[in-house]
Amino acid sequence: MSRGRSDSGGWLRGCLVVFAVVSALGVCGPALYWRFKNAITLRNNNNKLSCPSCLCDCPPPLSLFQLAPGLANLSVSDCGSNDPDLKEEMEKQFVDLLSEELKLQESVTEANTRHMNITLAEAKRVASQYQREADKCITATETCEQARERAQAILTKEKKMTSVWEKRARQMGWEGE
């Protein structure tokens, strides 16, 4: 299994090398072509004719800072502040952005309200179910309490009856256990 991986890794490396060479030739090839072509042309022309060098009284090229001094500090905060049409358009965009933000906040609020209402309804349903269960438990507890009180009353009555019968039996000569 590792043999297949090393084969595919080598194949991938080979493809990457080929891609790098083709990319380098694609980028540098035209420049190299023109350079060699000009060198060959100049060599041929030097053998045949030699032209005098050009004398120019051209001013030195302007630097980027001289062309656009505002770019030196990269501050574009006041860009277009003098143009009323651009300023109005930017304010429109700002108003549009604010209204879009408000609409988004409104939709989020509506979604949160919907979710809260659903959660509240579910909580009320569960609370109602628990209340019904609690009412059942209270009713069952009251029923059990009433049954206990009746059983206690009957037990007290039975103890009195037992005591009366035991007294009569002793009077008749029963000695008990």
Q: Write down the pLDDT at residue 153.
A: 96
> In tens digits, what is the pLDDT along the chain, a chain of 177 residues?
455 556 777 888 888 899 998 888 888 888 888 887 877 776 666 555 556 666 677 777 766 666 666 555 555 555 656 777 777 777 777 778 888 889 999 999 999 999 999 999 999 999 999 999 999 999 999 999 999 999 999 999 999 999 999 999 999 988 877
Question: How is residue 150 written in tokens?
Answer: 């009746």
In 49-172, alpha helices (H): 64-67, 84-171
Upper half-sphere CA count for residue 17 (Cβ side, 13 Å): 6
Query: Domain ranges in the chain?
Result: 83-171
Three-state DSSP class for residue 100: helix
The pTM score is 0.35
Q: Which of 32, 29, 30, 51 is nearest to 40 (CA)?
A: 32
Question: How is residue 107 written in tokens?
Answer: 């939709």
Q: Write down the pLDDT at residue 1.
A: 47
- Environment class of 90 (CB within 10 Å of its CB; exposed 0-12, middle 13-18, buried 19+): middle
